Every structure is written in structure tokens, then in C-alpha cells.
Structure 1
């Protein structure tokens, strides 16, 4: 079985990682950890703009790369065959494209449980993936219920 875990590198994302690890162990699955990095809206490319912008973006991507690799190492240390991916793009589209490319049997993703107004204005990554995916989605709530 092949599982792709969408990782947002937030504190609440730890809940997703713990559950994904359980699923992967139970199914003896190969895991791809995917973090989608999006550039600032004004950022066009690494060869355009002031040096400080390029340096800050480089620093940010380096830190995200370090974080996703550390998570992959953690999974590997428990015996899970794991590959870390850091890809720049539109989050929902990138998750779906990578799941298709990797022929994932399942996507594991977290939901922050924002209200209807937030989803209306900003959107929800988990909702977008859920509505457009052609493979099963395992959605893990990362917020506490009242």
C-alpha cells in the first residue's frame, strides 16, 4: 500500500503524523510525506527581486526541507519506508497531482476545523482535496471539539 501524508508543518500537524504512523504500521505501507511550499504572491522567481527577498525565501525553504526530512527520519526509525517531498505550488492542486503521480492508494490529511466563514473566505485544503481526489482520503481532525 502507498500512502501520501500531506504535512503542513504546524504544531497541530503532529496529530496527523501520529495517526499516519499508526496507519502506515498497520498496513505495512510505503509513505510519502508531502509539504507544499507556496511562494509569497509578489515573488516571481529566484532570479528576480532584491537579494534580501531571495535570501529570505531560500532560508524559509531550507528550514521547511530540514523539518520534512526530520519527520521522514522519525518514520524511518520506526521501520516505515518513507520519502520526504517538498514541492512548491498551489496546495490542493499539488497534493492531488503528486498523489496521482505516485499512484497513492490513500491520502492522509489534517483539518483545522475552521468555521464556515473562514472556509468561505479562505477555503479549506482538506475540503478541496476531499472533493477532487480520485483516491480515498483519511481526514484527521487536528483541533479539539467542545
Structure 2
């Protein structure tokens, strides 16, 4: 990894993001751009005052944040809407990753347009690390949500390629549905029979998951595969809690017009509900896809 953009609004939430970005830079040797966006829908005189104040505050942050010691870090102030400014900064620096804190929620606005984090993920090509948890060291208990889609496999490969996680520490969670369970329960089959049916379904899903991971060039220990009979978000939350996961890796789906309105129900639920760090990775853009 060569470069990380980290966004700050000078809140405690974004300070965690800066510290996490510093740790990533110390581990990977990448450079950091710390970006703050000033709202441009106000008089020029106020914009100038806010820019000057932002420069002053950012100089203090880069000088006093312990995780930035010996890290190449520049401060950048831009104007515009928050998510657009962050994306412009990341693009201008050729960033491999955007790091952000969870933004304060505004209920009605979030319903229609989403949080700043979500808008950055929807609108840009960059992996986004949302920092929710305490910053005590590198992530050591990563959990990847795998739904047998190329999007979920790409998310894991991206996390590994960026050096955010180690392959031998990775666990995966896959939610499945035993399709005939409801019908069997409706005719009052014995519990043992129902249990055997679910076990067979689980074994079949495990084989499918193993084949998918191998085809996706991902090596995951058998003991690190967690198959849960549940809806995806509940399965992710349950396994994350059981493992004490400190990072959840998810892929987002689609790049068409609808995708700019929806991240995908599972990715959105994970971003909005979990209190641990989340890495959200968009699918490959058409311009990046290999020919043939």
C-alpha cells in the first residue's frame, strides 16, 4: 500500500480514524493525507476563517498524534460537500484506502442520502475503513463476510493485499438457509430427523464454501469457517461477538444507478449497526476489469 487518505471533522470519532491510519502507515510504510472539508455554502469570509482554523488544528494533530511519529503525513483542506471533498482528495493523491470515523447521524437525512461514510463508499472506487473501535494495535481478529459472490471474495483479497490483515488470522462467516426446514417442521417430523437434515445442509454448504474459497485464491483454515443458519447480518454479528472480532470485512454490490442509492442491505446494516471496525470494499469497476 502506498497511500491512505484519512478524513477528519476534528471530532473524537475522527481522531480514532487518524490514529488507526497512523498505525497502518507504520506497518505498511505508506504515506497519509489528512483531509478536512470546509462547507462552501457560506460567505467567502467565513470559508477563509474556517480554512485558516482548520490548518492550525491539523498542524496540531499531526504534531501530537503518537501514531503519526515517523510517518509521512500531509494536511489538506478542501471545500465542498464532505463526501465529495474526501473523494477528490483521495483521487488526487492516488489513495489505496480511505479511513474515516463513524459520523454523527441525522435521522431524516440518513434515510434519504445516507451518512458521509456511506456516500463515500457508494460514490467512489476506494476501499473504506470505518473506525469504530478503540485503537490499541493492528487488527488481530478479522472476520470476513462471504456470500459466495465475487464481491465478497474481492473484499478479502483487497484486505490482504493492502496489508490490513494477515491470512493466518482470517476467519470467515457464511449465512445459509436450510430450505426444507420449515416444511419438515410443519409436518411435525421428530427433532432428530430435523437436526440431521440441517446437518446435511450445513455439510453441503461447507463443501460449496471450500470450493468457492479455493477458486477465489483464498486460503482459510477449516476451523476458521463459520457457517450459521440465519439471516446474514445476524450471522455476522453473532460470530463477530463470539470471536471478539476487531474488524469485519464486507463487499458492496453493484455499480449502476441503483447501486448509488443502495449499498446492499447487509453491507449497510453492518456499517450502521456494528461497533467494531468495518472495511467496505466496492466491486471492480468496468474500467479495471481484465479483458476477455
Note whether the superposition's TM-score is higher than 0.5: yes
Query: Is residue 142 of structure 2 the alignment partner of residue 3 of structure 1?
Result: yes
1:19-34 to 2 correspondences below 5 Å = 19-22=158-161, 26-28=164-166, 30-34=169-173
Q: Structure 1 105/116 Cα, relative in aligned 2: closer, same or farther at 3 Å?
A: same
Structure 1 distance, partners of 2:227, 2:173, is: 6
Task: Give the number of the structure whose alpha-carbon radius of gyration is greater.
Answer: 2
CA RMSD of aligned residues (A): 3.9
Map of 2:155 onto structure 1: 16
**Aligned equivalents of 1:11, 1:59: Cα separation in 2:** 25
The structure 2 residue matched to 1:103, chosen from 244, 250, 256, is 244
**Runs of 5+ consecutive residues of structure 1 not aligned to the other structure:** none
**SS at 2:150 equivalent:** coil
Summarize the Cα distance change of 1:27–1:143 in structure 2 as closer, same or farther, 3 Å threshold. closer
Length-normalised TM-score, structure 2: 0.38
Does the CA-based 8 Å contact 1:110-1:141 persist in structure 2?
A: yes
Of the three residues 205, 208, 216, the one matched with 1:67 is: 208
Matched, 1:125 2:263: no
Distance in 1 between the 2:181 and 2:223 partners? 31
The answer on whether the counterparts of 1:31 and 1:82 sit within 8 Å (CA) in structure 2 is: no
Distance in 1 (alpha carbons) for counterparts of 2:159 and 2:233 = 19
CA–CA distance in 2 between the matches of 1:58 and 1:144? 39
2:204 partner SS? helix
1:80-119 map, 5 Å: 83-113=224-254, 115=258, 119=262
Runs of 4+ in 1 over 6 A off after TM superposition: 56-59
SS in 1 for 2:210: helix
Partner of 1:44: 182
CA contact 1:75–1:81 (8 Å) conserved in 2? no
Paired residues of 1:6 and 1:108 also in contact (CA < 8 A) = yes
C-alpha displacement of 1:117: 9.7
Residue segments in structure 2 that go unaligned for 5+ positions in a row: 1-139, 188-193, 288-292
